[in-house]
Amino acid sequence: MKTKGTRTNKVNIVTLGCSKNLVDSEVLYTQLKGNGYDVVHESKKDNAEIVVINTCGFIDGAKEESIETILRYADAKDRGVVDKVYVTGCLSHRYKDELAVEIPTVDAWFGTNELPRLLKTLKADYKHELVGERLLTTPAHYAYLKIAEGCDRPCSFCAIPLMRGGHISRPIDELVGEARSLAKRGMKELILIAQDLTYYGLDIYKKRNLADLMNQLADVEGIDWIRLQYAYPSGFPLDVLDVMRERSNICKYLDMPLQTGSTEMLKAMRRGITREKTEALIETIRERVPSIALRTTLIVGHPGETEELFEETYQFVEKMRFERLGVFQYSHEENTHSHTMVDDVPAEVKQERADAIMELQQSISWELNQEKIGKEYKVLFDRKEGGYFIGRTESDSPEVDNEVLLPAASNYVRLGDFTKVRITEAEEFDLYAELVTE
Ligand code: SF4
């Protein structure tokens, strides 16, 4: 069935979920471009014959969003606006048999490790020469670098290993090659991602090799910022901190999901660490890398989290004063270890606990931000919006952390450039600035 109007072989890739999924979409984008397809990412215009939806299957909310997106494009196909709808990514990997029955309009479903089959279905060849030549969907000045796939950790609540498989590190030379290619194309900030960065190398180099990788990436010309996201606390390789302290182009920033501040809950979550050891690690990190910005994420409402145990997490947040923090409500995911437990924390209590933590973090972040007023920072400007140039300091990762706002009426900066600013005003999360004229 030929859709209305003249169109060339256009593919619209729609990405849901995390930055790791975004990298997968970029790899697909690059391969399709390399095969002569006209490819767009997240196009709002319904002028593509083919839609590939890269889904997320992490927790309830993310699954709902993925299904809504699939149904939207299935409906577009039924209305003749789209010819083909293909679904890949984590939700498809986990539920494709059920979903294929429930949503028969979708032409085909693919797992997270089925890029070759997806390409074949699109009559495209897998081009090895394009490995490392990834086209970006992010602004050209920053890029995610996925250093490994999958995860070997046993966290009781987590379905990711079910969707992404076991941990597989990518070889250092391949990663350095990709970083070089990205830097040649103007990338200045490289964000290292994986399910667990700290596991890097244990499979292919038989040792934790993140520090070595960081050093080799820091040697790549043109990269001003290297950022670490998704580190795991237990068995944390301390040599990473020395490299972070010694190399000027490695951000003094670490994202380390800790999930809870209660030893009893850490045990139930099978995190392999205690509250005491977590605090000791945080102390060591802050000692070895002064001025580091620590980001963490927590889960509230895990089975067995009584009011008293939640209080322990609340006090943990109060005491540790993280620079950046996010919170998830526990989602009862089938085939995970936690699913064998009773989901005994009511939804409204999960919500109350998440609100309480974020309210506390808001006041901590406000206090920490006040200390920045009058100080000067190197800021990477990402976009212009609502009368402001919006950027980030070294302590802020894209999409998830604080932002610096520079009035556009009285200032001009080039997006993608580093610019020195002075903080003039500070809110809970946003900072307002003026240009520093040398
Ligand atoms: S480290 Fe734990 S929470 Fe993170 S992806 Fe692996 S199993 Fe899931």
User: Counting Cβ atoms within 10 Å, is residue 348 exposed (0-12), middle (13-18) or buried (19+)?
Assistant: exposed
Residue closest via CA to ligand 1's atom 8 equals 158
Please name every residue paired with 55 in a beta bridge, in sequence order, or none if there are none: 89
String of DSSP letters for 216-256: HHHTSTT--EEEE----STT--THHHHHHHH-TTEEEEEE-
Task: Report the separation in Å between the CA atom of 417 and the middle of ligand 1, taken as the mean of its atom positions.
Answer: 34
Closest CA to 197 of 226, 223, 174: 226
Beta strand pairing call for 142-146 and 189-193: parallel
Please name every residue paired with 68 in a beta bridge, in sequence order, or none if there are none: none
Residue closest via CA to ligand 1's atom 4 equals 195
Quick one: which atom of ligand 1 is closest to the CA of 158?
8
What is this structure's pTM?
Answer: 0.96
Tell me how far CA of residue 217 lies from CA of 17, 52, 250, 433, in angstroms. 26, 32, 9, 31
Q: What is the average pLDDT across 218-247? A: 98
Is the pLDDT at 85 greater than 50? The verdict is yes
**Does any ligand 1 atom lie closer than 6 A to the CB of residue 91?**
no
**Residue bearing tokens 């577009």:** 76
Task: Report the separation in Å between the CA atom of 160 and the middle of ligand 1, taken as the mean of its atom positions.
Answer: 7
Task: Report the separation in Å between the CA atom of 338 and the middle of ligand 1, taken as the mean of its atom positions.
Answer: 13
Count of Cβ atoms closer than 10 Å to residue 105 Cβ: 14
CA-based end-to-end distance of the chain: 63
pLDDT confidence tier of residue 131, bands split at 50, 70 and 90 = confident
Q: What's the pLDDT at 352?
A: 98
**Does any ligand 1 atom lie closer than 6 A to the CB of residue 232?**
yes
Count of Cβ atoms closer than 10 Å to residue 8 Cβ: 9
- The torsion angle over the Cα atoms of residues 272, 274, 279 and 283, rounded to 10 degrees, is -50
Tell me how far CA of residue 317 lies from CA of 19, 128, 155, in angstroms. 26, 46, 21
The first and second tokens of residue 430, run together, are 């946003």
pLDDT confidence tier of residue 8, bands split at 50, 70 and 90 = low
**Does any ligand 1 atom lie closer than 6 A to the CB of residue 163?**
no
Mutate to test the pocket of ligand 1, among 18, 19, 149, 151 (most ligand atoms within 8 A of CB): 151
Q: What is the average pLDDT across 170-184? A: 97
Q: What's the pLDDT at 49?
A: 93
Is there a contact between 35 and 125 (Cβ–Cβ < 8 Å)? yes
Beta strand pairing call for 376-385 and 388-392: antiparallel
Mutate to test the pocket of ligand 1, among 153, 163, 269 (most ligand atoms within 8 A of CB): 153
Instruction: In whole angstroms, give the CA distance from residue 345 to residue 62.
Output: 20
Q: What is the average pLDDT across 311-332? A: 98
Task: Report the separation in Å between the CA atom of 333 and the middle of ligand 1, taken as the mean of its atom positions.
Answer: 13
Q: What are the pLDDT digits (tens) for 408-431?
A: 999 999 999 999 999 999 999 999
Beta strand pairing call for 225-228 and 148-149: unpaired
Question: How much of the chain exceeds pLDDT 90, in percent?
Answer: 94
**Does any ligand 1 atom lie closer than 6 A to the CB of residue 422?**
no
**Does any ligand 1 atom lie closer than 6 A to the CB of residue 333?**
no
- Residues in Cβ contact with 104 at an 8 Å cutoff, skipping those fewer than 6 apart: none
